[in-house]
Amino acid sequence: MLFLKLIVKLISSQKIICKFTTHINLTNKEILIMKLSKKLFSLIFIGSISISCIAQNPITVGEVTAKPGEKISGYIIVPAGRDSDIVKVPITVINGIKAGPTLALVAGVHGYEYPPVLAMTKLSQQLDPVSISGKVIIVHVANVPSFLKRTVYYNPYDWKNFNRVFPGKIDGTNSERIAFQITKEVIDQCDYLIDNHCGDGNEDLMQYLYYTEIGNPEVDNRSKQLAINFNLKVIVHETNRTKDVINSLYVSNTALLRGKPAISIEAGKLGGTAEEDINAIMKGSYNILKHLKMIAGEPKLDFQSVWVQEFKIITSEHEAGLYYPIVSRGDHVQKGELVGYLTDYFGNNLQEVKSPFDGIVLYIIATPPMSYGEPMVMIGRF
């Protein structure tokens, strides 16, 4: 700001000099010097304006370095370990020509969740660094082993749920090593984070998002604004996630506990690739870019979201069985209503699943396999 004020003063002085020279006689040499000084001043002025618009510096994420005005794709390399060879996590880094925040957009934390992956591919093709203020880090597929092996929930090398191992370990299992690199290269470098999910291959899920409150008023308020401006119909308000930075578990929680506002999106179901889910993620991502003033325009809010203030995830109490859902995503259910049941392999009833309160089915497992401790249904109450 001080620099710009000095420029304004210099402009005014130049105007005064020009007016003054119209009333005195100058030699040709003096006139030439005056003209050259004015041209030099103009070049300095234009250069100063250009410099003020350029993002401050390049950014390096994994093997990718993007200078201001560049969009570069490449990989975060996860070193080999006892259980697997190296893993290459695909990313795109977009460094705008103007200064602004750094937004991380993550997809593929669970490998069978496809709409976020497809949305991030489209988004990476559409975003132009010339029109961006700040930087965008897109993680196309975070959990590459699960994606390539088409596994639900778990990494095929260590059978861990990738969204329960953050911030990871540099010398841990495959999931932990990937989480460590994503924490270091992406989460620690961003100012805001959106973790994009959907219903896994077994989950019949309606569109909603998680707003997690951690007790930090500044971070909570900015995260809440992300949730509102992403603009899905339902926002699930969470307050009970761990506050342990060393064992933060979730991608979004890891960002939050490091002071980075974050939300987690759910749009898609049953391993599908519906355009309505891809488009919802795309629209929400553009809304966030506009909300953060990273691109021109205002967020397009098509409706006022409703807030789920309480929810319950009911899990299996038995080692193994066949699960039979009775209701579907988005259904309104009453307290005590039977929403599903579990049998053994021979059809003998093991567990009835009843709604704990009047509410809405956010997701329900829609395929038969069921193991101990796995979720069967999530019901929310407004």
**Per-residue exposure over 156-171, b if at least 16 CB sit within 10 Å of its own CB, e if not:** ebbebbbbebbbbeee
Structure confidence at residue 173 as a pLDDT band (50, 70, 90): very high
Q: How far apart are CA 334 and CA 328, in angstroms?
A: 14
The answer, yes or no, to whether residue 26 has pLDDT greater than 70, is no
What are the angstrom distances between the C-alpha of 73 and each of 5, 40, 62, 70, 124?
A: 40, 39, 10, 10, 9
pLDDT, tens digit (0-9, with 9 covering 90-100), for 141-170 = 999 999 999 999 999 999 999 999 999 999
- Token pair in block for residue 58: 């390049």
Q: How far apart are CA 209 and CA 212, in angstroms?
A: 10
Tell me what the mean pLDDT of segment 327-336 comes to: 98
Structure confidence at residue 20 as a pLDDT band (50, 70, 90): very low
Q: How far apart are CA 284 and CA 198, in angstroms?
A: 14
pLDDT, tens digit (0-9, with 9 covering 90-100), for 194-243 = 999 999 999 999 999 999 999 999 999 999 999 999 999 999 999 999 99
For residues 183 and 96, is the Cβ–Cβ distance under 8 A? Answer: no
Determine the number of helices (DSSP H) and then strands (DSSP E) in the chain: 8, 20
Query: Which pLDDT value is given to residue 35?
Result: 52
Query: Which pLDDT value is given to residue 28?
Result: 55
Fill in the DSSP letter of residue 140. S
The answer, yes or no, to whether residue 46 has pLDDT greater than 80, is no
Per DSSP, the three-state class of 300 is: coil
Percentage of the chain modeled with pLDDT above 90: 85
pLDDT, tens digit (0-9, with 9 covering 90-100), for 251-300 = 999 999 999 999 999 999 999 999 999 999 999 999 999 999 999 999 99
**Per-residue exposure over 199-230, b if at least 16 CB sit within 10 Å of its own CB, e if not:** bbbbbbbbbbbbbbbbeeeebbebbbbbbbbb
Query: Which pLDDT value is given to residue 11?
Result: 40
Fill in the DSSP letter of residue 373. T
Neighbour count for residue 349 (Cβ, 10 Å)? 11
Structure confidence at residue 137 as a pLDDT band (50, 70, 90): very high
Neighbour count for residue 293 (Cβ, 10 Å)? 14
| Average pLDDT in the chain | 90
In CATH, the number for domain 309-381 is 2.40.50.100
The superfamily in CATH containing domain 68-305 is Zn peptidases (3.40.630.10)
Q: How far apart are CA 36 and CA 69, in angstroms?
A: 32
pLDDT, tens digit (0-9, with 9 covering 90-100), for 95-120 = 999 999 999 999 999 999 999 999 99
pLDDT, tens digit (0-9, with 9 covering 90-100), for 293-331 = 999 999 999 989 999 999 999 999 999 999 999 999 999
Query: Which pLDDT value is given to residue 12?
Result: 44
